[in-house]
Amino acid sequence: MLSLLPAINPHKRFISFSITSPSSAPPAPRPAVILPGLGNNTGDYEGLVTTLKERYDVPCVVAQVSRIDWLRNAAGLFDPNYWKGTLQPSPILHWYLKRVEKAISDAKLLCTQEGKGISLIGHSAGGWLARVYMEKFGFSDISLLLTLGSPHLPPPKGVQGVIDQTRGLLDYVEMNCAPAVYTPELRYICIAGRYIQGARITGGASSPPDENTLGDTNSDGEESLPNNGNSKYVPAGPTLRARFVGQGYKQVCGKADVWGDGVVPEMAAHLEGALNISLEGVYHSPVGSDNDTRPWYGSPSVVDKWAHHLLN
């Protein structure tokens, strides 16, 4: 603020005035680019864009993707590498990378401070596709990569019943993309959800039931039944839903009885070298979610737990 109050110096006979420069305003947040996950479209992220703008003043650009765009990936069926399990991002995913490039170009126009960089927010497959973009186009304009439920790691080899659904794409990412870092210049933050624990198709529960939820479906996806009116309960085993979800987890990480967000297991959504965060009760997708009983990564209550990373 401007101060014109007299500053009296006891050793001199005159009065001087001091002028204080206005205090500098806090820096504006970096613009963010949101990268849709497999099967999602731009409109699925409208709620997330609104939350980030209204609550945190973070301007966002969503890469322009429609659901029908994902059918372009079917071109991979004509690539011999698809059947060998050695598929590479180009040319199959070139269309997506160009959408990312356009979104980043638009976001840079929103930057209010030169050289500040932007944030990339990759949901699901958008997280590892962001890494492919950074490998091919560079990352000098990017200060932060924040991934939401992204399957970063390729499934293990030689596990019975496991088929690499990316047909080698995640192997390419692991071998060719830069490792995750957490430095002042570039930060990787990987967020995983713990919505439901999967279960094997055969066999009993992998862990005892939660005593706080006996008589109902507990957080491990198991059910408990009363034992002839006694105070004790006996586990009835994993639910059909837990077994079904577990088979999905197994295709990603090789294990069924692990925690995850209902689609991507927690262990596959983290990267060595990144700041890894797990959030309880968070579902994978904006499709089929709601803000109360099944919040996803972009629900307002969940965004409140990670949005501060966009402001630093």
- The tens digit of pLDDT for each residue in 125-182 reads 999 999 999 999 998 899 999 999 999 999 999 888 888 889 999 999 999 999 999 9
Give the model confidence (pLDDT) of 202-246 as tens digits.
765 444 433 333 333 344 444 333 344 444 444 556 789 999 999
Report DSSP letters for 247-286, one per residue.
HHHHHHHS-SSSEESSSSBGGGS--TTSEEEEEET-BS-S
Residue 74, pLDDT score: 87
**Omega within 30 of 0 (cis) for the link into 91:** yes
Spell out the long-range contacts of 235-240 with Cβ–Cβ below 8 A and sequence spacing 24 or more: 235/204, 235/205, 235/208, 235/209, 237/204, 237/205, 238/199, 238/200, 238/204, 238/205, 239/199
Give the mean pLDDT of 6-31.
50
Instruction: Please report whether residue 209 resides in a domain.
Output: no
- Tokens 């499934």, residue? 155
Residue 260 belongs to some domain of the structure: no
Confidence of residue 11 (pLDDT cuts 50, 70, 90): very low
Q: Are 143 and 117 in contact (CB under 8 A)?
A: yes
Residue 48 inside a domain? The answer is yes
Residue 85 maps to a domain:
yes
Model pLDDT for residues 243-299, shown as the tens digit of each residue? 999 999 999 999 999 999 999 999 999 999 999 999 999 999 999 999 889 999 999
Whether the per-residue pLDDT at 63 is higher than 90: the answer is: yes
**Distant-in-sequence contacts of 160-168, Cβ < 8 A, 24+ apart:** 161/250, 162/250, 162/251, 162/254, 163/251, 164/85, 165/251, 165/252, 166/87, 167/76, 167/81, 167/82, 167/83, 167/85, 167/86, 167/87, 168/81, 168/82, 168/84, 168/85, 168/86, 168/87, 168/88
Which two structure tokens, joined as six digits, stand for 56? 């945190």
- Evaluate if residue 198 carries a pLDDT over 50: yes
Q: Assess if residue 89 is contained within a domain.
A: yes
Rounded Cα distance, 215 and 226, in Å = 6
Domain range for 280 is 32-191+265-310
In the prediction, which pLDDT does 78 show?
Answer: 84
CATH of the domain at 100: 3.40.50.1820
- Residue 24's pLDDT is what? 53
In a domain, 105, yes or no: yes
Asked whether the predicted pLDDT for residue 107 surpasses 80, the reply is yes
Q: Does residue 73 register a pLDDT over 90?
A: no
pLDDT at 206: 46
pLDDT at 263: 96
How many domains does the chain divide into?
A: 1
> pLDDT tens for residues 112-124?
766 678 999 999 9
73 found inside a domain: yes
How far apart, in Å, are the Cα atoms of 61 and each of 45, 108, 123? 10, 10, 14
Residue 247 maps to a domain: no
pTM: 0.81
Residue 12 has pLDDT above 50, yes or no: no
Query: pLDDT category, 25, cuts 50, 70, 90?
Result: low
